[in-house]
Each structure stands twice: as structure tokens, then as C-alpha cells.
């Protein structure tokens, strides 16, 4: 499930010309800042996340919109029929030259001059380029990039690595002092440190328009994230429009027509993500966090009691009636066909036992099962049934750490998602999960909905999912992590600037080598990367007092 990682070997030869070429991306800092100074520009320019191996020389070439083009190499297994790559070529051409640039194909192509770079040739080396496939946890995302005259070459075994290589190539392009697009002779060999690099967005507490989700998928690709964890439903609303159970969103969404994700919307998100090498993993969290489910599915939730009388309120999913499991079987069968990824997130966190404890039928069932008053055992009983149902749909599953903590019997390939506690506690949890032989993801230090005044990205950047006491074999079971943005105080108006560039700090931690920890160097590169996102119409918030050559123009 995890590709082999090599140690970092970054070799850089940067001339004065490179630094001068980056001066228009400089971040001029006013006021006091303990970590960043204007003269501490990174030798790696604006690369983010930092590749595993980089070699840059002082020799530079120009790129012009009328002569430069991105093409398939003659030897490539992916030709003009690979729409994923053809779309990416157009996208990155516009990133480099702007959407109004004259493309070579739309006019007579001018020959490149003696100091110009004529082409970027993309060479997919494997017989199966996976152009029409979906990315997975085992996808090969490696690539090699060589920039020299008369052309640059991007080699990758699969299209997923080529997508990352195109992003890196675009990050190497800068404007010289006259505004001419310039790139230095460069050699890069790159691959991700972790296979799972995710962002969680919550579309239940506040509905997120599809357009906002797509914009953030675009930003994810710019940061080499490869998993969109879609926390699509929760207590507050059920915006997923189910073909099998349409009454779930009809009754459970904030509005049955304007605040739902139709099958066409979901399909659009999945395909938009695929074209950028991003997996879409939906989360349908049960038995807690399900108040919105109960509005459209009769008898799904547990009736709560006040003394000997019904209180009129409902608790978690009712785990003792067969109708619950009949419904869940049909529902997850649909989910397995709608979402192509091999995994689904099943939640399992924060189950309130008070309602179960108040219900006489539940207590009677507990006695029959010999559970006593240990409601953790009842939760485990329910979760086990759900896991069996999802397994029957041929899906793997991820669960929040409580499921592991409560001793539920899990398949060996279950992924445990760690989110609770302080640093000492989450590191102990990572050690416990991996010592039991399970793969794990970390999110605890990357709850980006928690905000504070100042440069909180630095703490985000310093956290490492493998920093816990354990063997090398345990460390290999850490497949990555996720930045989470929960939606209590976030909607379309503030989601993107709250997420970026703070999530970029997580992106580098999960992609680059473990040894990449220089916070001053990171500040320089991230400041320029943030300006690049702004230039690409992503309203990423500033790290500190600064300016961008091309500021965000608003909506």
C-alpha cells in the first residue's frame, strides 16, 4: 500500500541571475517578524512543496506564448487521446502565460530563438499510462524533470506523476526584470513521502456550493494533495441526494433543491478531481452525527426517554432493529457505485450514550447480549455490522480512532484516522495503532478550523506524522495525513482564505523529505507560493505583512 521512500538529496547551484529573476516575487516585510527577513530568500525559489532532488544552474532560457508548447513525447504511451493530459497541458499553459495569451495552435507558430525553450515534452514510460483510471493509494506519483535546450523533458511512469511534474515546471517559471517569462536549466527527481495527502471539507454544517469545492480541488492540485475527504453529511444537514433514498435530502437538507448535491454534481466533483490526480473519499459517519438522517428515514434513530416516557427527541442510530441494517445495506450499496474510490470513511466518532441508556428496549437488548451497561460494546456491535456491510460492497474503510480504541474487530487493511488529544496523546495513539498492525492517518495537529492570531502555519508545518516512539515497521504503517476544515464557522465566504496557504504547510510536510524543516526557508518559498495561488485566482490569505506583484482582484 506504500511506495518506497528514498532520503532527500537536494543539490542546488543557483546563480545571481536566478535570484534577480525572482525579485518581482519578493515579499517586502514591514514591521517586526522574528523568522522572516527580506534578504533571506530561499535558494529553491518558489518551489512548493520542495521536491526530493533538485539541481538548478545559472543558465536561463526564455519562454514565449507564441513559440512554447507542451506536447506528448514520441515515445510516450499516452498520446493525443489522453484527455487528462491534454486538459492539463492547456491548464498549465494558461497558468504560465495567462488565459489571454496567444496559443501556438491558434496562430502560426513562431520558431524558438537561440535562448528560448521551445517545448516541454511529456513522456509516460509505462505501457499502461492509467489515463482513463482513477487514482488510488498505490498510484505511482513519481516523475523526473529535465529543463535544457532545445526542450524540456518530463518523464513519469503514470499520468499522476506527470500532473505533479507539470505543476513543478510551472513553479520554475519566473519573470525577469523586464517581465519576460524565464526558466533556468534544471534537473528534478521527485516523489511523495506519503501516499495519502488529504484535505477534509465539511459540507453539512454549512452547505458548500459545488463551485467552491472545485476551486479548492484546483488549489489542492497546486499543492500536490491527492485526497479530497468529503465530509458530506452530519447532524446539521444531509445534502447528498440519494437515488435510492431521495427523502434523506428532501427532509434532511437545509433546502431540498438549492442546498443539495445532485448525482450530476457528485459526478462532476469526482471527475474534476480525477483530472487533477485527486481521489474523492466520502464520509458517511454513523451511528452518531446522524440527526439529519432521521428526518427522512423513519425509525432509523433511537427514541430517547425522559424517565418512563418518550421525550420526543432522538439519539444515535438505533442499533437493535433489523430495519437499520436493511437500510444501511441498500444505502452503502449505492455509495459503492457512486464513488469509485476503493475506500469510504465510516466515521464512528463521538457517540453519545445517554439516549441509548434512557431507552428500555436498548437496555433489554444489552442484557440479552450480556453487555451489562457497557455501551461501548453496543457501539462495537453496531460498527461491526456496518463494517461487514461495507466489506460486502468490496470497499475498504477508514474509521476515526474511537473505533479502534473501543476494540471493534477490524479488517487488517483498515485505516485508523487519528484526530484527538494534544501532541503527547496523539503520538501515543499513533504508536498504539501501528503497534497493532494498522495503517494510520494523522489529523490532530492539522485541524485548520482552529485559528489564532499570528503565523500559526509554523506549528502546522513542524508537526510530523512519524514523530512517535515506534519501530521502523510501525513508521511504515503511517500512510499520511489530512488537513481538516470543519464547518461550524466556515462557508463559501471564508473557506478558501482560511484554508490556504495554511494547508500548504501540511502539503509540504506530507510530500517533501522528513529533513525539510527550515522554517525561514519555508517562509520565503511559501510567501511566493501564496502569491502564485493569488495570481491563479485562489484568495489565499497572507502569511504576514507583504504584497504580491499581482494582488487578488476580488470576485
Whether residue 280 contacts residue 341, with contact meaning beta carbons closer than 8 Å, is answered with: yes
Q: How many residues does the chain have?
A: 555
Residue whose C-alpha is closest to residue 234's, from 207, 205, 257, 208: 205
Cell of 69: 508548447
Helix (H) or strand (E) segment spanning residue 302: strand 301-306
Q: Which residues of 377-387 are buried (b: 16+ CB within 10 A; e: fewer)?
A: bbbbbbbeebb
Rounded to whole angstroms, the Cα distance separating 423 from 130 reads 39
| Residue 427 · residue 469 · CB < 8 Å | yes
Distance CA 533, CA 550 (A): 10
The three state secondary structure string of 92-161 is HHHHHHCCCCCCHHHCCCCCCCCCECCEEEEEECCCCCCCCCCCCCCCCCCEEEEECCCEEEEEECCHHH
Instruction: State the residue for C-alpha cell 464513488.
Output: 339
The DSSP code for 233 is -
305 three-state secondary structure: strand
CA 251 to chain centroid: 30
CB 211 within 8 A of CB 218: no
Q: Which of 243, 241, 287 is nearest to 260 (CA)?
A: 241
Distance CA(362)–CA(346), nearest Å, equals 23
Annotated catalytic residue, options 40, 177, 350, 473? 350
Query: Which has the closest alpha carbon to 510: 463, 455, 469, 448?
Result: 463
Residue 32 annotated in active site: no
> Which three three-digit cell numbers place residue 61?
532560457
Distance, first Cα to last Cα, the chain: 42
Q: How far is CA 282 from the centre of its chain?
A: 12
Distance, CA of 64 to CA of 66 (rounded, Å): 5
Under 8 Å between Cβ of 522 and 508: yes
**CA 219 vs CA 65, 213, 318, 500, 502: distances in Å:** 24, 10, 40, 8, 12
Gyration radius of the chain's alpha carbons:
25
Task: Quickly count: other Cβ atoms within 10 Å of residue 210's Cβ.
Answer: 16
- What's the distance, CA 459 to chain centroid? 19
Pairing state between β 151-156 and 196-202: unpaired
Question: Residue 543 has which C-alpha cell?
Answer: 502569511
- Cα separation of 236 and 255, whole Å? 12
Q: List, by residue number, the catalytic residues.
A: 350
Amino acid at each position: 500500500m506504500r511506495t518506497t521512500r528514498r532520503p532527500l538529496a537536494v543539490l542546488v547551484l543557483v546563480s545571481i541571475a536566478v535570484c534577480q529573476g525572482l525579485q518581482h516575487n519578493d515579499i517586502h516585510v514591514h514591521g517586526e517578524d522574528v523568522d522572516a527577513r527580506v534578504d533571506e530568500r530561499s535558494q529553491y525559489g518558489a518551489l512548493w512543496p520542495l521536491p526530493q532532488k533538485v539541481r538548478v544552474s545559472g543558465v536561463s532560457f526564455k519562454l514565449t506564448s507564441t513559440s512554447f508548447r507542451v506536447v506528448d513525447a514520441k515515445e510516450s504511451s499516452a498520446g493525443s487521446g489522453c484527455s487528462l493530459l491534454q486538459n492539463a497541458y492547456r491548464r498549465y499553459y494558461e497558468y504560465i502565460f495567462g488565459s489571454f495569451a496567444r496559443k501556438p495552435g491558434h496562430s502560426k507558430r513562431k520558431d524558438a530563438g537561440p535562448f528560448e525553450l521551445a517545448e516541454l515534452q511529456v513522456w509516460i514510460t509505462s505501457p499502461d499510462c492509467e489515463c482513463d483510471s482513477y487514482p488510488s493509494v498505490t498510484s505511482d506519483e513519481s516523475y523526473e524533470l529535465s529543463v535544457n535546450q532545445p526542450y524540456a523533458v518530463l518523464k513519469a511512469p503514470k499520468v499522476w506523476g506527470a500532473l505533479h511534474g507539470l505543476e513543478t515546471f510551472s513553479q520554475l517559471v519566473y519573470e525577469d526584470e523586464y517581465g519576460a517569462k524565464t526558466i533556468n536549466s534544471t534537473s528534478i527527481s521527485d516523489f511523495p513521502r506519503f501516499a495519502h495527502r488529504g484535505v477534509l471539507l465539511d459540507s453539512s454544517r454549512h452547505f458548500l456550493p459545488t463551485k467552491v469545492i472545485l476551486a479548492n480541488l484546483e488549489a489542492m492540485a497546486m499543492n500536490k494533495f491527492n485526497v479530497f475527504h468529503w465530509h458530506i453529511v452530519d447532524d446539521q444537514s444531509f445534502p447528498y441526494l440519494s437515488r435510492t433514498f431521495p427523502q434523506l435530502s428532501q427532509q434532511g437538507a437545509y433546502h431540498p433543491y438549492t442546498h443539495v448535491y445532485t448525482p450530476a454534481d457528485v459526478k462532476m466533483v469526482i471527475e474534476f478531481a480525477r483530472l487533477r490526480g485527486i481521489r474523492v473519499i466520502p464520509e458517511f459517519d454513523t451511528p452518531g452525527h446522524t440527526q439529519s438522517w432521521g428526518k427522512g428515514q423513519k425509525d432509523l434513530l433511537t427514541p430517547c426517554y425522559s424517565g418512563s416516557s418518550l421525550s420526543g427527541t432522538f439519539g444515535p442510530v438505533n442499533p437493535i432493529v433489523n430495519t437499520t441494517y436493511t437500510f444501511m445495506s441498500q444505502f452503502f450499496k449505492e455509495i459503492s457505485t457512486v464513488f469509485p474510490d476503493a475506500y469510504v470513511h465510516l466515521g464512528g466518532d463521538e457517540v453519545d450514550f445517554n439516549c441509548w441508556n434512557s431507552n428500555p428496549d436498548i437496555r433489554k437488548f444489552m442484557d440479552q447480549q450480556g453487555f451489562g451497561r457497557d455501551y461501548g460494546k453496543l457501539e462495537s456491535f453496531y460498527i461491526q455490522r456496518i463494517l461487514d456491510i461495507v466489506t460486502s460492497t468490496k470497499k475498504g474503510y477508514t474509521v476515526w480512532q474511537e473505533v479502534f480504541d473501543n476494540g471493534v474487530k477490524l479488517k487488517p487493511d483498515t485505516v485508523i484516522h487519528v484526530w484527538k488529544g494534544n501532541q503527547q496523546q496523539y503520538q501515543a495513539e499513533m504508536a498504539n495503532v501501528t503497534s497493532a498492525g494498522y495503517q494510520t492517518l494523522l489529523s490532530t495537529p492539522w485541524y485548520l478550523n482552529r485559528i489564532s492570531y499570528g503565523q500559526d502555519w509554523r506549528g502546522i508545518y513542524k508537526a510530523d506524522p512519524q514523530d512517535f516512539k515506534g519501530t521502523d515497521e510501525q513508521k511504515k504503517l503511517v500512510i499520511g495525513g489530512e488537513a481538516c476544515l470543519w464547518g461550524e464557522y466556515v462557508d463559501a465566504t471564508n473557506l478558501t482564505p482560511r484554508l490556504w496557504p495554511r494547508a500548504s504547510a501540511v502539503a509540504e510536510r506530507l510530500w517533501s523529505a522528513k529533513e525539510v524543516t527550515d522554517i525561514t526557508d519555508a517562509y520565503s518559498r511559501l510567501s511566493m507560493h501564496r502569491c502564485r495561488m493569488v495570481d491563479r485566482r485562489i484568495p489565499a490569505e497572507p502569511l504576514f505583512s507583504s504584497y504580491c506583484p499581482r494582488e487578488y482582484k476580488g470576485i
